[in-house]
Amino acid sequence: MKVLAINAGSSSLKFMLLAMPSEEVLTSGIVERIGSSVGIFTIKVKGVKLTKEAAIATHKEAVEMLLVSLIENKIIAKVEEIEGVGHRVVQGGEAFKTSVVIDDQVVKVIEDLSDLAPLHNPANLIGINTFRNLLKNVINVAVFDNAFHSTMQPETYLYGTPYQWYRQYKVRKYGFHGTSHQYVSQRASQLLNKKNSKIIVCHLGNGASIAAIKNGQSIDTSMGLTPLEGIPMGTRSGSIDAGIIEYIANKENLSIKAVTDILNKKSGYLGISEYSNDARDIEAKIKQGDPLAKLAFDIQTKRIADYIGAYYLQLGGLDALCFTAGIGENSALIRKGVLNRLKVLKVKWDEDLNSQTRGQETLISTPDSKVKVWVIPTNEEVMIARDVYSLAQKS
């Protein structure tokens, strides 16, 4: 069965085509700048990236371009070979605890949840609607970013805010990056080969979150009602004193929305370094001796270590600490910055192995370390394809 895993943003569409159940990746790519006069279509064919620039007005045009390209590049002979499509959906609220086959009712619930994720759910829905209209008779599955965290307990997911906010408006911690945390923790659990496991996953990309996973279930995670909570990220501030919002709104004569926008888009690495949101740029500046880049990095590693300490207590110990996503998989500097703060937990690692590890699964802790430290490349697409395959078998 050939399955497309789709991640639709407001102006982009990431795709991967997999053969299931073998999980062979047939191709992957991205359509960017949808809606602008110069769209960019990139597809990997036999390991080579092919890029085409063209006006791509809508997501429908993007998907049509993708289908034509799959045939032109002989990845499939005809569109009917695609038998399932899995869609990443950021916010499933409390409605979905697992992935589901999409029907009109599911679409309606995702629409209703847009209030909680106005930047993400509407974009995810555009992807869903486009595929449902273009590929009739194909199973479409929604895979929710927060579903893996639905095992958190009320004492963890509720804030110290009026209970009525939860009752009436569903204000609570939901958590995100669930598909990634699940994939990486499952892999770590396999590698540990232990029945009861205590695992912390640090998903460090432009967006970043930490999760504590006990015996395969998420018990806590750093993102909250929205992806803004937690550790500082590429452009997000992470957790702050909520009092800052009114204070800055008054000082700079800004609306709450404008301040929130700054917290989402102009903070984190970008805001502190006053230079870039990209970890590679921050590392390059640190090497040149830039104090603000160093500070951006230190603030982040300090906060990551704080979460690890808190989750260590919650888990009642720790078997494995895992680094994943763009920064976690590739940046030896960030891993070192975090690990240096964990010595009290008797975490020991091999400096050389850490510096050499880039994007491949590697155990970087030493045999005498109390905690195993792994770099595990994430694979959200394969998780999406697995859910599509398994739901297709049942329907």
- Per the CB < 8 A criterion, the answer to whether 216 and 335 are in contact is no
- Per the CB < 8 A criterion, the answer to whether 34 and 56 are in contact is yes
Task: Specify the residue, 127 or 326, whose C-beta has the smaller distance to ligand AMP.
Answer: 326
Specify the long-range contacts of residues 248-251, CB closer than 8 Å, at least 24 apart: none
Task: Specify the residue, 108 or 280, whose C-beta has the smaller distance to ligand AMP.
Answer: 280
265 C-beta neighbours (distance < 10 Å), count: 14
What is the smallest separation between the CB atom of 295 and ligand AMP, expressed in angstroms? 17
Residue closest to ligand AMP (Cβ): 326
Question: Is the backbone peptide bond immediately before 162 cis, with ω within 30 degrees of 0?
Answer: no
Task: Specify the residue, 122 or 377, whose C-beta has the smaller distance to ligand AMP.
Answer: 377
Catalytic residue among 104, 145, 278, 298: 145
Question: How far is 96 from 371, CA to CA, in rounded Å?
Answer: 34
What is the smallest separation between the CB atom of 177 and ligand AMP, expressed in angstroms? 10
State the Rg of the chain over Cα.
21
Tokens of 73: 């590049």
220: Cα separation from own chain's centroid: 16
User: What count of residues does the chain have?
Assistant: 395
145 is catalytic: yes
Q: H-type helices in the chain, by residue range?
A: 59-72, 104-112, 121-134, 154-157, 163-169, 178-192, 243-252, 256-265, 268-273, 279-287, 291-315, 325-330, 332-339, 351-356, 380-394
Q: Which of 229, 336, 227, 234 is nearest to 279 (CA)?
A: 234
Write the DSSP symbol of residue 113. Answer: G
What is the smallest separation between the CB atom of 7 and ligand AMP, expressed in angstroms? 11
For 102, residues 6+ apart whose C-beta sits below 8 A from its C-beta are 87, 128, 132, 140, 141, 142
Task: Specify the residue, 120 or 198, whose C-beta has the smaller distance to ligand AMP.
Answer: 120
What is the smallest separation between the CB atom of 325 and ligand AMP, expressed in angstroms? 4
What is the smallest separation between the CB atom of 284 and ligand AMP, expressed in angstroms? 10
* Beta strands 39-45 and 48-54, pairing class: antiparallel
- Note the residues at the interface with ligand AMP (CB under 6 A): 205-206, 234, 278-280, 283, 325-327, 330-331
What is the smallest separation between the CB atom of 207 and ligand AMP, expressed in angstroms? 6
* Beta strands 82-89 and 39-45, pairing class: unpaired
Task: Specify the residue, 99 or 330, whose C-beta has the smaller distance to ligand AMP.
Answer: 330
Question: How far is 237 from 225, CA to CA, in rounded Å?
Answer: 15
Task: Specify the residue, 27 or 324, whose C-beta has the smaller distance to ligand AMP.
Answer: 324
- Per the CB < 8 A criterion, the answer to whether 65 and 56 are in contact is yes
Side-chain half-sphere CA neighbours of 249 within 13 A: 12
Task: Specify the residue, 22 or 288, whose C-beta has the smaller distance to ligand AMP.
Answer: 288
What is the smallest separation between the CB atom of 57 and ligand AMP, expressed in angstroms? 26
The residues carrying an active-site annotation are 145
